[in-house]
Amino acid sequence: MVDLKTSSGEQACAREPIHIPGSIQPHGYLVAVDTDTLTVDQLSRNWGELVSGDLSACLGRPLGLIFGEHVAARLIGNMEEKNRIASALREQVCGREFDIVQHRSGGSWIVELEPIEAGAEIDSVALIQRQGEAIARLQEAAVTSELCEEVARQMSALSGYDRVMVYRFHPDWHGEVIAECLRDDMEPFLGLHYPASDIPEQARRLYTRNWQRLIVTADYEPVPLVPALNPRTSQPLDLTNSALRSVSPVHCAYLRNMGVSGSMSVSLLCEGRLWGLIACHHRTPRRLPFAVRLNCEMIGRVASALLAAIEKTDAHRARLSAKAAREGFLDRLAEHLDFAQALTEKAPEFLELLSANGAVLQVNGVRRTMGEPLPTPVVDACFEWLHRQESEDLVFTDQLGVEVPAAASHATRVSGLLAVPLTETGADWLVWFRPEHAQTVHWAGNPNKDLSDLSLPIQPRKSFALWTQHVTGRSAPWTDFDRLAAQEIRAAVNASIRKRTERLLQINSELEQKNVDLNSFAFIASHDLREPLRGIRNSIEFFVEDHGGAIPEEGHERLALAARTAERMHDMIEGLLHYTRVGRAELSARPVEMNKVLKRAMENAQSQWSGQNVRVEIAPDLPTARCNPVMMAEVFTNLLTNAVKYNRREEKTVEIFARQGPPGKVVFCVRDNGIGIPPRHLKDIFTIFRRLHPRDAFGGGVGVGLAIVKAVIERHGGAVEVESVPNEGTTFNLILES
């Protein structure tokens, strides 16, 4: 398979100098006149048909000798006007009537004579009218396709060719027939693609400088110029703008292979570049008079002017509406605090912004999918690939199967990917997917023609048989415009993420503040509540002191109860105060030998046990833990006190030992043989003030001990666990950092 762009065959084609063929088509006559001397430099050999005698006698002679003084004077008059567009006369020369067209080429005037066919009278006014109508129709077109269809129609009506096509060049210079007007009995070429080599670079360059080419018949014998080289310059004559220019024999063979005899093409330029051609084909020879040709050229020029405007307006309008849609969407997005949720809710609209059929948003490890669902392994593979790109900017491909093999089997659903990174982590992306833009390209003939044998003169391809190429695994390409849109969306999404993070931080700090406030409140409240309690207590006391004699027995009892209640409230407040202090105190954790802590705890607890049979076994080699020794002493004091308090046995035992915990942690266990805790109450025992027994049972108590244990342990970043069998005993497991 030969790569058409770089093959030397193609370059050979391109090198053929088609603008200096040194000959003309035989349906007219050519004279090259020196611009300074106004003498004849070169003639086409077929002048011999017009003048008898030796052609060389005419060379170097003034114009008037060949044309006659009258015509010569008119010709000279036109030359002096310095017109750029070829000017035309209708005159008699050598007894025959001609359309005479003259134009400048380098240091020469080229004068071309085309015989007027008998009976082919042109009604100029009608022609101009027709042209006016044609132009008006063209101007009505709103989009490119309409314009091209109208061009084909108008050109067909004007020129009468069997087939008129509008042929558009793709970026790689292969062409496509995008509009066509043809006779009913002919096979349509609409939608066919032609390889770039069919119209080589030389030709394309010429077509950009010269608006129109005519070939009367593809089967002609070229008429050489005499002399072959211009006598002044010793160079061949540049026939770029010549109407009679003889064309490349390769091109003629090409036309013959296609079954075309007469042909004409008019250029379509857009902003100075060759955009396409209006190609006209006829099955038999066809010649257009100069005036008609001029009309046809005009169609091309007007269409070209309109093209630029239409394509610009189309693109502009599309961009504007897309931008408006995008901005509207992004504004609404900004209003939502949880934009990820908002995005998912408005998924169809979001996907539309980039003509995508699916999207994935991955932020902070959370992945949300929109639109077309894809198997998780495929999406994972895509993210892996994205991560490997190590790109801080947009990444895109329209051949996902090639980049991510896992996606290849899903090409119909996803062939294109465009992704923008979010935040700076490299793991957060916003990804859009596009489905396969299945294209079936119909080639007129195999585009991979073999040009490798350079020994042969260049031959046009002989086969125009339909060659179908299926383009698979590709999505519609991501345009500059798409990428711009993606960047805008990325900016908006990033802004949303930032706002959300800020809001979360703010909420966090507000919560922290509230916590602090709450703690302060608890502390202050409990502190200040003690004062009125003292007041109540004292009042009762003084009342009894002053009036005790006058009060009956029950009265005394009731007052005693009141006093006790006030005391109890005081204890609760003290407990609450103590509890809040745990939350407010500096932790000051450091490695501490637990045996030392337990010594202290035992001292505290033992004072409560006088008269009771208590045996405490403490493992002698308890490990070290990071903690605050004072707080831990209180924890163990509380646990020891409880173990003895909630125990009906004769001999109350408490075992304290340690065991291995999860990595970096150590577990201290306090096991008693007390009354145990029913399973359904296990979760309640740490609640402050929560009692499982009547107020005065088991020696009373406020109900703060275990709450403080839990608060302290959790303050250390650890945890408390309880295991218990009712009537057997309870074990408290304290998990701390080792």
Partner 1 sequence: MSASILVVEDYDPDYEAAARGFRRIGVTYPLVRCRDGEEALTFVQTEKPALVFLDLNLPGIDGLEVLRTMKSDPDLKTVPVVVWSSNGREEKIAEAYAIGANSYLNKRMSPADLFEDLKVIVHYWLRTVRLPGLAA
Contacting positions for partner 1 (CB under 8 A): 527, 530-531, 533-535, 537-539, 541-542, 545, 567, 570
Q: Where are the beta strands (DSSP E) in 313-438?
A: 358-363, 366-371, 395-397, 416-421, 429-434
CB of 363 to partner 1, least distance (A): 48
CB of 564 to partner 1, least distance (A): 10
CB of 589 to partner 1, least distance (A): 19
What tokens appear for 149 in the block? Answer: 């269809």
- Distance, in Å, from the CA atom of 392 to the CA atom of 390, rounded to the nearest integer, reads 7
The residue among 461, 454, 464, 453 whose CA lies nearest residue 15 is 454
Q: How many CB atoms lie within 10 A of CB 710?
A: 20
What tokens appear for 586 in the block? Answer: 């500096």
Please give the C-alpha separations between residue 244 and each of 120, 263, 279, 615, in angstroms, as whole numbers. Answer: 19, 13, 18, 127
Phi, psi of 103 (to 5 degrees): -155, 160
Instruction: Name the residue type at position 338.
Output: D
Q: Given the complex with partner 1, which of 498 and 534 has the nearer CB atom?
A: 534
Classify residue 25 as exposed, middle or buried by CB count within 10 Å of its CB (0-12, 13-18, 19+): buried
The answer to whether 240 and 19 have CB atoms below 8 angstroms apart is yes
CB of 568 to partner 1, least distance (A): 11
The answer to whether 592 and 630 have CB atoms below 8 angstroms apart is no
Please give the C-alpha separations between residue 82 and each of 35, 71, 87, 109, in angstroms, as whole numbers. Answer: 11, 17, 10, 11
CB of 534 to partner 1, least distance (A): 6
The answer to whether 283 and 259 have CB atoms below 8 angstroms apart is yes
Q: Given the complex with partner 1, which of 130 and 530 has the nearer CB atom?
A: 530
CB of 586 to partner 1, least distance (A): 12
CB of 524 to partner 1, least distance (A): 11
- Distance, in Å, from the CA atom of 297 to the CA atom of 88, rounded to the nearest integer, reads 15
- The distance from CA 62 to its chain's CA centroid, rounded to whole angstroms, is 70
The answer to whether 356 and 432 have CB atoms below 8 angstroms apart is yes
Q: Given the complex with partner 1, which of 11 and 538 has the nearer CB atom?
A: 538
CB of 520 to partner 1, least distance (A): 14
DSSP string over 120-145: ----HHHHHHHHHHHHHHHHH--SHH
Q: Is the dihedral of CA 558, 559, 564, 568 positive or negative?
A: positive
Please give the C-alpha separations between residue 260 and each of 184, 217, 324, 389, 728, in angstroms, as whole numbers. Answer: 17, 8, 50, 53, 110
Phi, psi of 187 (to 5 degrees): -80, 130
CB of 726 to partner 1, least distance (A): 36
Q: Given the complex with partner 1, which of 65 and 569 has the nearer CB atom?
A: 569
Q: Given the complex with partner 1, which of 394 and 533 has the nearer CB atom?
A: 533
CB of 579 to partner 1, least distance (A): 15
Q: Given the complex with partner 1, which of 538 and 727 has the nearer CB atom?
A: 538
Please count the residues of the chain: 738
Q: Given the complex with partner 1, which of 545 and 554 has the nearer CB atom?
A: 545
What tokens appear for 622 in the block? Answer: 């308890």
- Distance, in Å, from the CA atom of 320 to the CA atom of 308, rounded to the nearest integer, reads 18
- Distance, in Å, from the CA atom of 598 to the CA atom of 634, rounded to the nearest integer, reads 9
Q: Given the complex with partner 1, which of 511 and 585 has the nearer CB atom?
A: 585
Side-chain-facing half-sphere of 729: CA atoms under 13 Å: 16
Q: Given the complex with partner 1, which of 76 and 536 has the nearer CB atom?
A: 536
Q: Given the complex with partner 1, which of 94 and 587 has the nearer CB atom?
A: 587
The residue among 529, 516, 497 whose CA lies nearest residue 429 is 497
Q: Given the complex with partner 1, which of 36 and 546 has the nearer CB atom?
A: 546
CB of 550 to partner 1, least distance (A): 19
Q: Given the complex with partner 1, which of 59 and 563 has the nearer CB atom?
A: 563
CB of 578 to partner 1, least distance (A): 10
CB of 526 to partner 1, least distance (A): 11
Q: Given the complex with partner 1, which of 70 and 584 has the nearer CB atom?
A: 584
What tokens appear for 228 in the block? Answer: 């072959």
